Each structure stands twice: as C-alpha cells, then as structure tokens.
Amino acid sequence: MLSTRSSGILLHPTSLPGQFGSGDFGENAYRFVDWLVSAGQTYWQMLPLGEVGPGNSPYMSSSAFAGNILLIDLEELERKGWLKPEDLIPHPGFQAERMDYALAQPYREERLRRAAKYFFMSAKGVEHLDYLEFCEKEKLWLDDYALFKSIRQAQNFKEWSSWPADLVRRETSALTLARNELANELDFWKFSQWCFYRQWFDLKKYANEKGVQLIGDVPIFVAYDSADVWSNQALFELDTAGRPTLVAGVPPDYFSETGQLWGNPLYRWNVHEDSGYAWWIARLRYALHSFDKVRIDHFRGFANYWAVPANATTAINGVWMPGPGEKLFSAFQNAFGTELPIIAEDLGLITPDVIELRDQFNLPGMRILQFAFGEDESNYFLPHHYVANAVAYTGTHDNDTSVGWWNSAKEHEKSFAQRYLGCDCHEINWQFIKALSVSAANTVLYPLQDVMGLGGQHRMNFPGTAVGNWEWRFDWAALNDGSAEKLAKFATLHSRNPRTI
C-alpha cells in the first residue's frame, strides 16, 4: 500500500553522465540525488541493476543477485590506490549521449582486473577483511555466480548446457576441480561484486539521508544462461540435458503483433511450493535489502503465464498456464510482513484473476498516461480513473517519450488529449506531468526524458527489437533549464513534496 503522496523520476544509472562510456555510481549519481532533492522528488526508480544479457537488456542478467560491473565507479578505485591515474584515460570512442556496450564492457572490465590484481597483491588490512566478510555473508549466491562466470569464460562463453557433462550435472568432483583451476578468476568476480555492492550501499545511504527512496526492478523471469538456472536446475522447466522445454513470453499485444518471445525458462512452480518458495524469498529479500521498494515486472505471470514451446520462433503459439498465485505472496507476507513494499507491473492483457491477486495483497498497480487517449472517457488509464493506491507514469522504459508519442499519435488521439487536458499540447510532456501530479494516484513517476522534453530518438527501449536499446544517456547542460523548479512547484502545489508538508 502506498499511502503518502509523492513523485519521482525513472532513470537507469547507465544513463547518467560520465567519461568512461557508461553512467555509474560515481559523482554524477550523487549529483542526481541532489537534483532530485532540489526538484522536490521522493523516488529514484531504476531498471534492474544486474548484468546485461543479449541485446544489452538488463532483464536478461546472468544472475538475479549480482550487480552490473559497468556501474562501478572507477575513480573511487583510483582514490583507493588500486588504479593509477593513467588507467583512467577515456577511450576516444566513448560518446556522451549514447552508451556503446562493445566499447564500455572491455574497457571497464580491464580496469577492474587491474584493480583486483593490485588489491590482492597489497597488504592485508581492514578492506581485505571487509572483502572476506562480504564473501562469507553472500556465499549462498556469490560462490555459484563466481564459478559460473569463471567456467563460462574458460568454456569460450558457451551456454552452460554445452559445457562438459560433469559440469552441466554439477558433479562435486568437477566443481572442486574447476574451483581450484580457476581460483584467480573466482577472486576477480567476487572482488567486482564487493566493489559493486560497497559503492551501491554508500549511494543508497546518501540518498536515504537526503529523503530520496530507491525503487528497484525485479524481473519475474531469469535468463537461461545464468548462474541461477545452472545452480538450481530442478526449479526450472528443463529437459534431462539441461535445455528449456518451455519458455516465457507474452501473446500479441499493444507492443507487438507477434507477441514477445522472451526465451526465459519457466519455473516448476510445484517444486518451488515444495520448498516453501525458498529461492523466491531469498531473491526478494536481497532486492528489498538493496532497495526501499521494488517493482516486480510482469506481475500477471504470477496469476497465469504464457508458455511457449522452446523451439518456437514467435510467441503466437503459446498457452496460458496457472501461476503460483496467492500461495507465493502469502509466503512473502510470512517472510516480510503483511505490507509488502512491492509495485505490481500489471500492464498488458489483464484478467480478473490478476486484479484479484493484486488487490488481495493490497499491492499498487501501474497506470500509463500514454495508453489513455485511444478511446473515450471510459479508458482505464485516464487520470480521473486513478485510485490512491496506484503508481502512475507518463510512460515507462518500454514506451516512447511523451514528445515522441505526440509526434506519432493519431489525430483522434491528439484531439482527445487536447480536450481532456484543456491545452494545445505544445508542451505535451509538461501537460502529462501536470495531469499525473494533480491526480489521485499517491505515487507518480516521470521518465527523465519527459522532464527534459526529448523526442522519440531518446527512448530507452523498443520492445520487439534486438538492437539499439538501453543506450540513452543525458548530459547536465540539457537538464539545466528550470525543470527542477517546475517539478518542485508541482510537488508542492499537489502535496507531493514531503519536505514542504
């Protein structure tokens, strides 16, 4: 339940400015927290912070627990003495406005390897003890993650089901041999995760002390080629060779005429139930430790999910299968309390059982303003239909920007929006922001692109496309236009700024 009126910004940390090819947890992240405070905002919402997968998607990570090493602040490692100043000469191909993963990934990983080498060669002190404590505390996921990453590299990055059979089956002798042979590589991946989480919790502490809460994103499914699936094969729909038999997706919808074929392996929910949903509880516990609230992506999959044969080329020929429903969320309540700090991403084809599950546990759903103008005043996404326990967005990372939406909208959508909003919509982004701010929804969130009034070329993701996504970045000069003052004014006028209430 979200009971306090507030607002915030949707921005993934990779979109922050920075000179090393990607936004990270460095000074610009702290500067953004300060900007949020000046803008009267309460929340900073992010996409999943895990490593990116195929197509650079943060929703296809190699681990549900590990962080994306591209977000590690290299300058902090230099201040620690683990990197030299000459290590931080930016690659000449880095762009301020786009992220080039093909350049940023090897550049940053190489610097992390240099830092790790120096760290393990240096005298053992307080920081080394802190590292060892981290490894012990997080061993339930960290050991398998580091081993997975190390073996995968040694196997020329082949999917784990193509590794030697004894490693696929996780035979004890094979795993022991791999740990011994790849000991240095395991140390590197553990060091990288220690750096990630050490810096992350420093940033979280700073944000919380400033009155800014962080909203994370938990994908319902995990990537097939991940430490999670390899180390927990009984929990997933796999054949005897470890290959998926059924995979996740959604049927044809607003975003795609052929549906979306995600390809994630599906859960064996009966096995999860037999364990008391132990893996899911551990996953959510870690997410809630890392964030103040979390959005669970594709919430409807807990009521029923679209199962597609693993050899399919589109998501059209799938079938609906029953999800765990209230059993899973009752287990969450037993573990975390009755008021779950969860936002339910309840978009797409929503049926009564999905709404019933959401409301049974008093979870806020999502409203997207861009979806509101295709019909008439009865449209569910129009602000006069919002309820207090809802999270409203102008658009999400999967939508066009508001300006991009307006530029491509049909004439009847434009005329309806003008009548409904009572404006000529020449600044549609600010009209959308104001419409959300005055609404009954207790929580409203704006993508930073909408605050900046950017066009469709600046959108974060285009569902159904494999390239060109997740690359957008901003620069401070383009944001320095009084937008913080406008947001602060709205937050104050509409009782969304806790600092003025």
Position 481 scores a pLDDT of: 76
- Does pLDDT of 432 surpass 90? yes
Q: How confident is the model at residue 146 (pLDDT cuts 50, 70, 90)?
A: very high
> Can you spell out the DSSP letters for 204-225?
HHHHHHTT-EEEEEEESS--SS
Q: Which residues are catalytic?
A: 297, 345, 398
Q: Enter the DSSP assignment of 292.
A: S
Which two structure tokens, joined as six digits, stand for 305? 């999910």
Which two structure tokens, joined as six digits, stand for 337? 């309390």
- Three-state SS for 59-80 is CCCCCCCCCCHHHCCHHHHHHC
- Per-residue pLDDT of 272-315, as tens digits, reads 999 999 999 999 999 999 999 999 999 999 999 999 999 999 99
Which two structure tokens, joined as six digits, stand for 251? 């049927």
- Per-residue pLDDT of 6-42, as tens digits, reads 999 999 999 999 999 999 999 999 999 999 999 999 9
Q: Shortest CA distance to 497 belongs to which of 58, 43, 148?
A: 43
Round to whole Å and give the CA distance between 312 and 54.
Answer: 18
Q: Shortest CA distance to 463 belongs to which of 265, 274, 250, 291?
A: 250
CB contact at 8 A, 293 and 343: yes
- State whether residue 304 is helix, strand or coil: strand
- Does pLDDT of 232 surpass 70? yes
Position 255 scores a pLDDT of: 65
The residue behind tokens 């430490």 is: 227
Position 465 scores a pLDDT of: 85
Q: How confident is the model at residue 2 (pLDDT cuts 50, 70, 90)?
A: confident
Our CA angle for 296, 147, 469, nearest 5°, is: 45
Which two structure tokens, joined as six digits, stand for 265? 């392996």
Round to whole Å and give the CA distance between 81 and 9.
Answer: 34
List, in order, residues 6 or more apart from 338 with CB less than 8 Å away.
none
Range 405-422 average pLDDT: 96
Tell me the percentage of the chain whose pLDDT exceeds 70.
99
Position 73 scores a pLDDT of: 98
Position 501 scores a pLDDT of: 64
- Per-residue pLDDT of 240-267, as tens digits, reads 999 999 999 988 876 678 888 989 999 9
Position 260 scores a pLDDT of: 85
Q: How confident is the model at residue 141 (pLDDT cuts 50, 70, 90)?
A: very high
- Does pLDDT of 464 surpass 80? no
What average pLDDT does the structure give for the chain?
A: 96
- Per-residue pLDDT of 311-358, as tens digits, reads 999 999 999 999 999 999 999 999 999 999 999 999 977 899 999 999
Q: How confident is the model at residue 3 (pLDDT cuts 50, 70, 90)?
A: confident
- DSSP lists the bridge partners of residue 213 as 43
- Does pLDDT of 460 surpass 70? yes
CB contact at 8 A, 45 and 219: no
Round to whole Å and give the CA distance between 261 and 251.
Answer: 8
The reply to whether the predicted model has a pTM over 0.85 is yes
- Per-residue pLDDT of 194-225, as tens digits, reads 999 999 999 999 999 999 999 999 999 999 99
State residue 217 phi and psi, 5-degree precision. Answer: -135, 120
In Å, how far are 44, 350, 478 from 37, measured between CA atoms?
A: 10, 36, 18
Round to whole Å and give the CA distance between 323 and 246.
Answer: 14
Position 364 scores a pLDDT of: 97
Tell me the percentage of the chain whose pLDDT exceeds 90.
92
Our CA angle for 87, 471, 7, nearest 5°, is: 110
Range 432-452 average pLDDT: 98
Position 327 scores a pLDDT of: 98
